[in-house]
Chains A and B, each alone.
Chain A
Amino acid sequence: MRPFRYERATDAANAVALLARAPQAAFLGGGTNLVDLMKLDVARPELLVDVRRVTPRTIEQLPDGGVRIGAGVTNSDLAADPLIRRRYPVVAQAVLNGASTQLRNLATVGGNLLQRTRCLYFQDITTACNKREPGTGCSAIEGHNRDLAILGTSPDCIATNPSDLAVALAAMDATVQTIGPDGSRAIPLTELHRLPGSEPQHDNVLTHGELIMAVVLPPLPFATRSYYRKIRDRASYAFALVSVAAAIDLVDGQVRDVRIALGGVAPKPWRATRAEDLLRGGPVDEERLRRAAEAELADARPQADNAFKIPLARNAIVRTVLDLVEAAP
């Protein structure tokens, strides 16, 4: 690991200021991804600004019925929170399906959203990778790409976003609150991460020095009926091949609202708006679900080894929403 300076921020403004004047600096949360990337020489910060004591560590109900989750809340505390478990089970489930308890005890909500791809080439500095070193090429497109993306890719990058939490938050229409050199702003979770295009080095829209302070979940009564299904190579402690976060609001057998987001298939949490639009306002059955899922996946561009993700994602959408419908009281 390369040498670096360590500073503990005294408050959020101090954290932003410390980073803003150091171009090669990074915020440190739980460190479960960043420290690993520093060991691998993928991340080379000259300064780490520890923000665990300046990002909120509370989960609170808001006057409008929504819930605000502090960015410094650990993944474990988020998943164990009674309010989250009751009101947004898909969020708790997504967190519990990622990593291990040892990692979730360290990892923060803010850090979870900003974790980097686990594409093997990104993590291996002996290979070409446009995300790690722009302009060097993508080793994955001609290489081992079974785990990588089928939607939203570019000729420069086919990496997937590894977060489970982000998929559930995308389905819930969550908002990310930040503070940065230019002040505070709110970013819809679905707009936090970006598609690679010709600049895969930028995972998200945050500017240097912009710090996530909280995630806000809107009041969403039907989210009490929500579910996260994760499909992976082993039963636990592995990244998703495909995952689905879903919630449904059924009234007299008609879909009043439905939320579907996919993980493991794209460079960002993939909100399946096309499928949702086809399902809203009608009945829900296997055939309609299948057509909606196929419409969502119509633009999929698989690589040599990951075409299996198209039927896998289709079937996962169908089964997950049907499970929710069949579990209806």
Chain B
Amino acid sequence: MDTEIALRVDGADHRLTVDTRTTLLDALRERLGNTSPKKGCDHGQCGACTILLDGRRANSCLALAVAHDGADIVTAAGLAADGQLHPMQRSFIEHDAFQCGYCTPGQIVSAVAMVEEAATGWPSAVTYRHPDGTDGTDTGPVDLAANPDEIRERMSGNLCRCAAYANMIPAIQEVARS
């Protein structure tokens, strides 16, 4: 069942006709040639396909393109502006925060979104470590740099089979600090 949709991807507008079964991931990769979001599991379990969808990180493999007509999408490729790497991309390189690199675009998009979420005071399961819940009611910014457990929890939707997690934490801490 073909439907015409519009997508803004990394700042460029596109019109395309998609079958209703097409996910955003497949539309990006197969139709628009943007292969920075990766197809890992294709079932929302690994996070390799993570994009910013209207400003929020999302698994593009579970989002039907037809349901996101008009969406503003940012992929890992679009994080780099004017030929300059995003600070998170630079930090991943400097900290050697990957091995094979397949999960890396998803990790980086996810980390960029996470820093923003923590700054706006979004809680995580770790924010509620105390049973009375009082710390979770504090709606102020969450200090990621001082709480690596917050980073681990908030990044748990991105798997890395090379297990490069140990270097991702300081890479993200450095960006969160600045």
Residues of A bordering B, CB below 8 Å: 1-6, 28, 30-32, 35-36, 39-40, 48, 50, 52, 76, 79-80, 82, 85-86, 89-90, 92-93, 96-97, 99-103, 105-106, 224-227, 235-237, 320, 323-324, 326-329
In the bound complex, what is the Cα–Cα distance between A329 and B64 (angstroms)?
A: 48
Q: Is the CB of A3 within 8 A of B21?
A: yes
Given A39-B42, A103-B44, the answer on whether A82 and B59 have CB atoms closer than 8 Å is no
Q: Is the CB of A236 within 8 A of B152?
A: yes
Q: Is the CB of A35 within 8 A of B64?
A: yes
In the bound complex, what is the Cα–Cα distance between A324 and B131 (angstroms)?
A: 6
Q: Is the CB of B59 within 8 A of A96?
A: no
Chain B residues with CB below 8 A from A326, complex form: 131
In the bound complex, what is the Cα–Cα distance between A105 and B121 (angstroms)?
A: 15
**Nearest A residue (CB) for B120:** A80
Residues of B bordering A, CB below 8 Å: 1, 3, 19-21, 23, 42-44, 47, 50, 53, 56-59, 62-64, 66-67, 110, 113-114, 117, 121-125, 127-128, 130-133, 136-137, 139, 152-154, 156-158
**Nearest B residue (CB) for A3:** B1
Q: Is the CB of A5 within 8 A of B1?
A: yes
Q: Is the CB of B131 within 8 A of A85?
A: no
Chain A residues with CB below 8 A from B154, complex form: 101
Q: Is the CB of A105 within 8 A of B56?
A: yes
Chain B residues with CB below 8 A from A31, complex form: 62-64, 67
Given A35-B64, A105-B53, A105-B57, the answer on whether A92 and B123 have CB atoms closer than 8 Å is yes
In the bound complex, what is the Cα–Cα distance between A328 and B132 (angstroms)?
A: 7
Partner of A102, one of B19, B23, B57: B57
Q: Is the CB of B122 within 8 A of A76?
A: yes
Q: Is the CB of A35 within 8 A of B133?
A: no
Chain A residues with CB below 8 A from B59, complex form: 32, 102-103, 106
**Nearest B residue (CB) for A223:** B133
Given A4-B1, A6-B1, A6-B66, the answer on whether A32 and B132 have CB atoms closer than 8 Å is no
Q: Is the CB of B43 within 8 A of A236?
A: no
In the bound complex, what is the Cα–Cα distance between A36 and B59 (angstroms)?
A: 11
With contacts A86-B137, A101-B113, A225-B133 known, what are 8 further pairs, Cβ within 8 A? A35-B62, A92-B123, A92-B128, A100-B158, A102-B44, A102-B58, A106-B62, A227-B132
Chain B residues with CB below 8 A from A6, complex form: 1, 3, 20, 64, 66-67
In the bound complex, what is the Cα–Cα distance between A97 and B156 (angstroms)?
A: 11
Partner of B131, one of A1, A76, A92, A327: A327
Q: Is the CB of A80 within 8 A of B123?
A: yes
**Nearest A residue (CB) for B55:** A105
CB distance from A35 to the nearest CB of B (A): 5
Q: Is the CB of A36 within 8 A of B62?
A: yes
In the bound complex, what is the Cα–Cα distance between A235 and B154 (angstroms)?
A: 12
In the bound complex, what is the Cα–Cα distance between A329 and B134 (angstroms)?
A: 11
Given A36-B43, A36-B62, the answer on whether A89 and B67 have CB atoms closer than 8 Å is no
Q: Is the CB of A79 within 8 A of B123?
A: yes
Q: Which 10 A-B pairs have the closest CB atoms?
A: A100-B157, A89-B133, A236-B156, A323-B131, A327-B132, A237-B156, A96-B125, A105-B56, A1-B21, A6-B20
In the bound complex, what is the Cα–Cα distance between A79 and B127 (angstroms)?
A: 12
Q: Is the CB of B136 within 8 A of A89?
A: yes
Q: Jot down 20 A-B pairs with beta carbons below 8 A, ordered by A.
A: A3-B21, A39-B43, A80-B123, A85-B123, A86-B137, A89-B128, A90-B133, A96-B128, A101-B117, A102-B59, A103-B59, A106-B58, A106-B59, A106-B63, A224-B133, A227-B133, A235-B152, A237-B156, A237-B157, A320-B131
